[in-house]
Amino acid sequence: MFSNLPLFPEQASTIAKDIDLLFAFILIVALFFSVLIATLVVSFAIRYRRRSDDDVPEDVHGLLALEITWSLIPFGIAMVMFVWGASIFMSLSRPPDNALDVYVVGKQWMWKLQHMEGRQEINELHVPVGQPVKLTLTSEDVIHSFYVPAFRIKMDAVPGRYTYTWFEATKPGTYHLFCAEYCGTQHSGMIGWVHVMERAQYQTWLAQGGMETTALAPAAAGEKLFAGMGCATCHRQASGALGPALAGLAGKSVELEGGRNVVADEGYLRESILDPRAKIVAGYRPVMPTFQGLVSEEQLLQLIQYIKRLGSADQDAGSAIAPEAEVVE
């Protein structure tokens, strides 16, 4: 009769088991202390109930050893929770190298998901089972939060920056996707489903391309944008170009004016497009105009994806894009 009263959420990711185990540990500790306090309070209240109004209780008002004990023991237990929780958090913040990339853009009130092979989805995410998936999130308007309870993962999609999380689904099925950060009128309607599929099934799904057969892979779309917006005018391989060459740039360390070094990650590339004067590459002048308001979040993702695919430094920008045949295995 309690079939419609679930008490524990489904476990469908590698991390879910770890988090539930830690949850169970804290639950046991919490139950122990709740029961301890409740038992003591109730039994003291009964045992030492006032029998006569003239009772003068014995004057016990402190015991240093006891104070130290009940400070240190909880502190020790708390530190176990801290280290355990921090280690799970650490692994959540580090996607494996072989993770499949999916871009997530939140907007009032929908989730737009972009696979690297070209397929785009709205409020539905198809992923293969047993394959780490890295999510790169941002938002077009206000803060949203990507939450899949069955995977025990949640990450805010913050406008103006990229955030990351990852998961590895462990069993095929369909799971809730919620927006967990209040975002206005249809906040509770900003929901969807994550479909975990067998690998072969996923490959078929990916190849079908669905309705949006015209959709290019993000890197190819980025290449078009790159040419269309005239980026190559300055960002050429030639010496004396106004802007730094971009081939092989992604992931490398860049020396800035003033001697500081930054890693050219997605956040840096994004900032350099939207706010080019924030970080000037050593040897270049701050002449690039901002593209704030000229490119959408999706176009930004495409440009960055294109720059990331711009192979090694000796390749010419134009020929760097291989057909998007390979799927990360």
Q: Select 63 or 238, whichever has its Cβ closest to another protein.
A: 63
61 binds another protein (CB under 8 A): yes
If binding is defined by CB under 8 A, does position 33 make contact with another protein? yes
Q: Which of residues 245-304 bind another protein (CB under 8 A)?
A: 275, 292-293
Binding to another protein by residue 65, rule CB under 8 A? no
Asked if 188 interacts with another protein (CB under 8 A), we say: yes
Contact, 112 vs 105, CB < 8 A?
yes
Site for another protein in 115-144 (CB under 8 A): 141-143
Selected from 108, 123, 201, 203, the binder of another protein by CB under 8 A is: 108
Which residues inside 210-229 make contact with another protein, applying CB under 8 A?
none
- Residue pair 254/262 in contact (Cβ under 8 Å)? The answer is yes
Q: Of the listed pieces 23-31, 98-106, 221-229, 248-256, which binds another protein according to CB under 8 A?
A: 23-31
Residue 116 CB, nearest approach to another protein (Å) = 22
Min separation Cβ 282 and another protein, Å: 24
**Shortest Cβ 209–another protein spacing (Å):** 30
Tell me the C-alpha to C-alpha distance, in Å, between residue 150 and each of 10, 17, 229, 284, 320. 5, 10, 42, 49, 39
Which DSSP string do the residues of 61-123 spell out, in sequence order? ---HHHHHHHHHHHHHHHHHHHHHHHHHHHHHTS--TTPEEEEEEEETTEEEEEETTS-EEES
Smallest CA-to-CA distance from 242 within 208, 203, 205, 289 is with 289
Q: Which helix (H) or strand (E) holds 178?
A: strand 173-179
Q: Compare residues 28 and 207 and give the one whose CB is closer to another protein.
A: 28
- Could you give phi then psi for residue 133, rounded to 5 degrees? -125, 125
Residue given tokens 């269309």 in the structure block: 228
Q: Specify the residue, 81 or 313, whose C-beta has the smaller distance to another protein.
A: 81
Q: Which stretch binds another protein (CB under 8 A): 30-38, 201-209, 236-244, 318-326?
A: 30-38
